[in-house]
Amino acid sequence: KHINNASFTWQTPSNIALVKYWGKSNPQIPKNASISFTLNNCHTITTIEFVKKEKSEEVSFNLFFEGKPKEEFKPKIAEFFKRIQEYCPYIFEYEMTINSENSFPHSSGIASSASGLSAIAMCLMSLEQELNPDLSVESINKKASFLARLGSGSASRSIEGPLVVWGEHPEIEGSSDLYGVQFPFSINPIFENYQDVILLVDKGEKQVSSTVGHNLMHNHPYAENRFKQANENLCKMSKILQEGSIKEFISLVESEALTLHAMMLTSNPYFILMKPNTLEIINKIWEYREENNSNICFTLDAGANVHVLFPENERENVIQFIDSQLSNYCQKNHYICDVAGFGAKKR
């Protein structure tokens, strides 16, 4: 089919890993399988306008972020297009104008790469579907995740939801190193609409990017054991999610978060992304859980912010605890309430 002009808009979310991805081989092949909750409120909305060019030469695009030209993000997107051009040859034929906005505030320390790159991938797949109307939704999602992965590994887990596994794993049928797949089993109701409140401890730029962090897993003294452990933890997590064993969920999720940071503490060069308030919050969460017979727990990404996870039935009490106590450890008392969601949405 011949298309001269087209424009597509997608909203895609961020995600939070329960079993973490940390360490990869080229190009973006994970060293272990990971699983995440897809988020709902933390998302990117991206529109791409495609205008057919006279001649198809180099890939050319304009980039706007919240309505303003954004030169500093261009090299990352250019590199992304380079990696995917063999899978999307049509990108040579169009001038692309990309317009993006995030639902979460600027430099909040929330990784926007997962939501940002999955949104671009979905827009490309919409064009591909126009060019080839026979594509099924399933194959569109699979390829979108495949493309998003080449931009940022964890972005492969932002197309579907509420639980996505990325990385080949014997217990997850259909799983692949090349794209994320929906968690194939039914989950216990306690994990439905699972809540995630993101405490913004530090909104600054991270001192060490996740690209550098992943690379430090090469020659890392504990790497092989860690990859093995993560794959075993994915087995455990799969069982926990199906059976609803929430106490085991709590200890596995917190252990995964601390292990991720332990890898950073023990790499060469070593680095620390947690801040004093990260630890203050963790201790407060432990105290609250003890005193209130609660099922809240924390997890961490590659940064100082804390994700507070808890079942929907504790929402009122936990939000009150966060608002009255934990928010004091956040920059400008800022936190974001989110919930597990269902992935990419066409706008």
Applying CB under 6 A, does 275 fall inside the site for ligand PMV? no
From the list 19-27, 200-208, 228-236, 318-326, the region that binds ligand PMV by CB under 6 A is 19-27
Binding mask 24-63 for ligand PMV (x = CB under 6 A): ----------x-----------------------------
Residue 24 C-beta: closest distance to ligand PMV, Å = 7
For ligand PMV, the closer of residues 9 and 215 by Cβ is 215
DSSP H/E element including 102: strand 94-102
How many residues at the interface with ligand PMV, by CB under 6 A?
Answer: 15
Report d(CA 227, CA 43) in Å as an integer: 29
For ligand PMV, the closer of residues 93 and 157 by Cβ is 157
Q: Tell me the CA distances in angstroms from 269 to 11, 23, 207, 208, 286, one per residue in order.
A: 37, 15, 13, 11, 31
CA 251, 257, 263, 265 dihedral sign is negative
For ligand PMV, the closer of residues 216 and 318 by Cβ is 216
Applying CB under 6 A, does 195 fall inside the site for ligand PMV? no
Footprint on residues 196-215 left by ligand PMV (CB under 6 A)? 210, 214
Cβ neighbours around 3 below 10 Å, total: 13
DSSP H/E element including 230: helix 223-243
SS3 95: strand
SS3 108: coil
Report d(CA 37, CA 48) in Å as an integer: 27
From the list 120-128, 150-158, 216-224, 238-246, the region that binds ligand PMV by CB under 6 A is 150-158
Applying CB under 6 A, does 154 fall inside the site for ligand PMV? yes
Residue 16 C-beta: closest distance to ligand PMV, Å = 7
Interacting residues of 330 by C-beta distance below 8 A, sequence separation 6+: 199, 200, 201, 277
Applying CB under 6 A, does 302 fall inside the site for ligand PMV? yes
For ligand PMV, the closer of residues 50 and 203 by Cβ is 203
Applying CB under 6 A, does 301 fall inside the site for ligand PMV? yes
Task: Say if residue 312 is exposed, middle or buried (CB neighbours under 10 Å; 0-12, 13-18, 19+).
Answer: middle
Applying CB under 6 A, does 254 fall inside the site for ligand PMV? no
Residues near ligand PMV (CB under 6 A) = 17, 20-22, 34, 111, 113, 152-154, 210, 214, 260, 301-302
